[in-house]
Structure 1
Amino acid sequence: MRFSATALLALPLLAAAAESPYEQYKAKFQSFLSNFGVAGPAADKASAPATPSISTGKAKKKVTEPKPIHTLTLDNWKDTLYAPVKAEATQPEEWLVLVSGRNKTCYSHCLRIEAAFNESATKFAAMPQSPSLGYVNCDDQPVLCNSWSAGTGNLWIFEMLPAPAPVDIHYKRLNLTTVTSQDIVDAYTGRPDIQWRKFEGYFHPIDGFFAKYGLSVPLGYFFWALGAIPSWAMMLVVSFMTRTMMNRRMGDANRQGNAGGGAAPRAAPPGDGRS
């Protein structure tokens, strides 16, 4: 098939004539939609203006990481407490230690204070000056708790200075049923208004008599073993010891009685003859 030059030149005109009715109706339709406040479709997506970002006016809140809580054991407790203490320090490095337990030592009453102590780690992290945090579980570390003579449900504050300087220790009993994380923070920051008792005596973990002479850990094992003995076994031991002592006393009394039974009876004093 052959096309003449005239037909080729007429093709653009025919295309324009075909598009002009469509463009005419399209313009009328967009004008009709604009009367109702509706914008027509964009002719070119690339030419459409970018959607501006909407600012809510609220800055993202910075999340405070909680302070680490160090678990103290019989093997690491002293090294852990002395770790942040500098050799030339003159101000004590403070530690706040929770003494807790589970079924054996706290009868499942320490769950609340452990949760409150964990929550207080975030509040302590937000403070400009706060203590290092430690945790002792007497179910897991019975020898350590016995060597300290430490009861569950207590907060301990260690004021650490470079060895061999004396270390002051204060402790406070917590309310196991109502304590909150804010109570723990207030107890620490409210000293000395809030009652704390100073730990003194033979069982002081660092300066006590037993600690200085290396007896605290052996005593810890002794008291732990003593507490591990069932009550019925202890009653049997006490009963056996009591009977043994009573048998010895009875045997001594019988021997004394037998020794005195062979002596001649004393004569009665003579009468004066009066009836």
Structure 2
Amino acid sequence: MRFSASLALALPALAAAEQQVPLADKVRGWINKATNYVSAAAPSVTGNPIKAATGKAANAAVHDLTLENWRSIVKPSPAAAHQGPEEWMIFLDGGNKTCYGLCANASAAWNVAAPILAASPNAPKLARVDCDDQQILCNTWAAGPPSIYHILLPAPLPDQSKPATTIHWIGLNRSSSVTHTAKVITEIHTKETYKQKPVYEGYFHPFDGIMHKLGLDLPLAYVFWGFSLMPSWLPMIAISLFSRVFMSRRQAARPGGIGGPGTQGGTGTQPPQPRR
């Protein structure tokens, strides 16, 4: 009875303590479960799964992509010719300019998911783009944060022809918790949930799109960037001035002008002459 009474008195205290567990501890607990899953799926990872995941994460390179370097980084390695297309996961991040300050949860979730992805079997190559600093690059892809660009990048064929590059764009919920978003990001690779999204084949496909082939993706990206810098009231004033000029020229082109012959308010005949 004493044990039961003590346990009954301890339960409310345990519940209160559970509610006070900080978010970082909860995320850490989820990482422990995920790394255990990865360890079970990959017999080659021996020892403590947390240490193994941490070690791989330290060696894994999360490339920071820019407009100048991304084509030299996101390219197939010689192994792709024998092992098939290489998998890339690129996280599109942003701040106040491009994400309106709503990407904090997604950014934290990417930091949680990246070590788990690095420790997973056949780990994808990882990269990140800060769309606040690289607005032109994000505009050339016609994509915004927070999102994941999942790419299957094939190697050129022996005749140097280039197979199509498969891209899936996965948008991330800005309001979801860090734990949920980290799970979503991880399962893009571990459960191949990217296959639930349609293959992107739009004009701004960075490898096979018509804008890229015509060399128009970069000029249009600068145009979009220029419009983003424009104050919201400037287009309205420009449209108003244009419409006024257009209407005044149209009225002036009418025969006789306003109130003249052939228009309302004019008879089209000479006024009667007084009798002498």
- TM-score under structure 2 length normalisation: 0.67
Work out the CA distance in 2 between the residues paired with 1:90 and 1:213. 31
- Quickly say closer, same or farther: Cα 1:169–1:136, change in 2 above 3 A: same
User: How far is 1:256 from its partner?
Assistant: 6.4
The answer on whether the counterparts of 2:92 and 2:129 sit within 8 Å (CA) in structure 1 is yes
User: How far is 1:197 from its partner?
Assistant: 2.8
Work out the CA distance in 1 between the residues paired with 2:220 and 2:78. 28
- Quickly say closer, same or farther: Cα 1:79–1:85, change in 2 above 3 A: farther
The answer on whether the counterparts of 1:148 and 1:204 sit within 8 Å (CA) in structure 2 is yes
The answer on whether the counterparts of 2:76 and 2:155 sit within 8 Å (CA) in structure 1 is no
Work out the CA distance in 2 between the residues paired with 1:264 and 1:126. 92
**Letter paired with 1:253:** R
The answer on whether the counterparts of 2:164 and 2:208 sit within 8 Å (CA) in structure 1 is yes
- Give the secondary-structure state (helix, strand or coil) at the position aligned to 1:103: coil
**Larger radius of gyration, structure 1 or 2?**
1
The counterpart of 2:174, out of the listed 146, 151, 176, is 176
Work out the CA distance in 2 between the residues paired with 1:118 and 1:124. 10
Kindly report which structure 2 residues correspond to 1:106-145, keeping only aligned pairs within 5 A, or say none.
106-145=99-138
**Letter paired with 2:56:** E
Work out the CA distance in 2 between the residues paired with 1:250 and 1:144. 46
The answer on whether the counterparts of 2:187 and 2:193 sit within 8 Å (CA) in structure 1 is no
Work out the CA distance in 2 between the residues paired with 1:154 and 1:241. 39
The answer on whether the counterparts of 1:85 and 1:93 sit within 8 Å (CA) in structure 2 is no
- TM-score under structure 1 length normalisation: 0.68
Moved more, 177-186 or 79-88: 79-88
Query: Partner of 1:250 in structure 2?
Result: 251
- Give the secondary-structure state (helix, strand or coil) at the position aligned to 1:253: coil
Describe the superposition over 1:30-58 as per-residue Cα deviations: whole angstroms up to 9, x where unpaired: xxxxxxxxxxxxxxxxxxxxxxxxxxxxx
Work out the CA distance in 1 between the residues paired with 2:252 and 2:120. 73
User: How far is 1:190 from its partner?
Assistant: 2.3
- Note the residue ranges of structure 2 that are not aligned, 5 or more in a row: 1-46, 157-161, 271-276
- Quickly say closer, same or farther: Cα 1:255–1:105, change in 2 above 3 A: farther
- Quickly say closer, same or farther: Cα 1:89–1:228, change in 2 above 3 A: farther
Work out the CA distance in 2 between the residues paired with 1:192 and 1:183. 9
Work out the CA distance in 1 between the residues paired with 2:187 and 2:118. 14
Query: Partner of 1:215 in structure 2?
Result: 216
The counterpart of 2:164, out of the listed 163, 166, 185, is 166
- Give the secondary-structure state (helix, strand or coil) at the position aligned to 2:139: helix
**Letter paired with 1:65:** K
User: How far is 1:195 from its partner?
Assistant: 3.0
- Quickly say closer, same or farther: Cα 1:136–1:255, change in 2 above 3 A: farther
Asked if residue 65 in structure 1 is aligned to residue 21 in structure 2, the reply is no
**Letter paired with 2:164:** P
User: How far is 1:187 from its partner?
Assistant: 2.7
User: How far is 1:112 from its partner?
Assistant: 1.3
Query: Partner of 2:200 in structure 1?
Result: 199
Query: Partner of 2:40 in structure 1?
Result: none
**Letter paired with 2:167:** I
Q: Identity of aligned pairs, percent?
A: 36
The answer on whether the counterparts of 1:172 and 1:195 sit within 8 Å (CA) in structure 2 is no
